[in-house]
Structure 1
């Protein structure tokens, strides 16, 4: 075992048996010999060089600190702007879907059917009011025959146009472009 010690630390080969025993018992003597070993000296030099390199890197990092804070702030602002634009985009997409749905073929067909029914009910109400002699508007006099014929005819023309459009639609003669 001593021979391996002398191979690893050749400086210790010159020490006597008494000196080696003193190394084990005297801490101060051990420190003095230990710090004088070439491997320890090389290690200390490396440690000092690493410390200097670390200090140089720290100074370099500190020199870039303000720039990094500025870039971080700009990045945060850009991120916040992107999030706001993303939220706006989602809102616009939702609005666009609602508009497309409102003008989809099935929705328009449904509106046409409802409008046709409403027009039929309007013309029937006009005819009933005329027959009963009740006023057409609020508190006004009953309609005369000429006014009734004119109004009823316009209402029924509108109703029949809507019926024809609905029939053509049901027959597949109405197409809607996708764009």
Structure 2
């Protein structure tokens, strides 16, 4: 099959052209363009290209119409993310603070506080007794402590010692394992 025959079979619009016309068309680009644009396949190609261009333009216009809303959503999302990060940092800080607060209420810390308070209570009652003894012994023998002063001392000393002995008993109960501390803060 000749080139001209296969060309006219594929492009029937060229069948009316002579061999010389075809050669001129190949030699002259403007002539080639003029003929090429009249071919139905070329027209179909340009038509589908134009349709795709219009479809792309429509999609681009739709995207542009959504652009402001998308920028707004992006901004809101960024703000929400930043807020979430700030809250996460605050949560970490609060957990640390909570741990510090709860540490003051651990059984070991409370026992240590009880022991210190017991020692302080003992020191306080002994200081009161020493002060009373010094004040009564430094006075001249002719003026002994009045009954009211003695009664006041005994009452105050008794209260101090009562508190001291309660604390000693609580410490003893702890030592023998009769004190159970609830550990509710883990679930908070």
TM-score normalised by structure 2 residue count: 0.68
Specify which of 147, 168, 173 is matched with residue 163 of structure 1.
Answer: 168
Q: Deviations over 1:55-96 (max 9, x none)?
A: 212222233334334444444444444444444433443333
Query: Structure 2: how far apart are the matches of 1:45 and 1:148?
Result: 115
In structure 1, the residue corresponding to 2:181 is in which secondary structure?
coil
| Structure 2 equivalent of residue 141 of structure 1 | none
Query: Structure 1: how far apart are the matches of 2:151 and 2:106?
Result: 41
In structure 2, the residue corresponding to 1:36 is in which secondary structure?
coil
| Structure 2 equivalent of residue 101 of structure 1 | 103
Deviating more after overlay: 25-34 vs 11-20? 11-20
| Structure 1 equivalent of residue 7 of structure 2 | 6
Q: How far apart are residue 33 of structure 1 and its match? A: 3.2
Give yes or no for contact 1:102–1:108 (8 Å, CA) kept in 2: yes
Do the aligned partners of residues 7 and 85 (structure 1) sit closer, same or farther apart at CA in structure 2, a change above 3 Å counting? Answer: farther
Q: Which has the larger radius of gyration?
A: 2
| Structure 1 equivalent of residue 35 of structure 2 | 33
TM-score normalised by structure 1 residue count: 0.71
Q: How far apart are residue 11 of structure 1 and its match? A: 4.7
- May I ask how many residue pairs the two structures share in their alignment? 170
Q: Give the aligned CA root-mean-square deviation in angstroms.
A: 3.4
Deviating more after overlay: 52-61 vs 34-43? 34-43
| Structure 1 equivalent of residue 154 of structure 2 | 149
Do the aligned partners of residues 150 and 16 (structure 1) sit closer, same or farther apart at CA in structure 2, a change above 3 Å counting? Answer: same
Query: Structure 1: how far apart are the matches of 2:95 and 2:48?
Result: 63
In structure 2, the residue corresponding to 1:176 is in which secondary structure?
coil
Mark the runs of 5 or more structure 1 residues left unpaired by the alignment.
Answer: 135-143
Q: Compare relative contact order (CA 8 Å, sep 6+) and give the higher one, 1 or 2.
A: 2
| Structure 2 equivalent of residue 139 of structure 1 | none
Mark the runs of 5 or more structure 2 residues left unpaired by the alignment.
Answer: 137-148
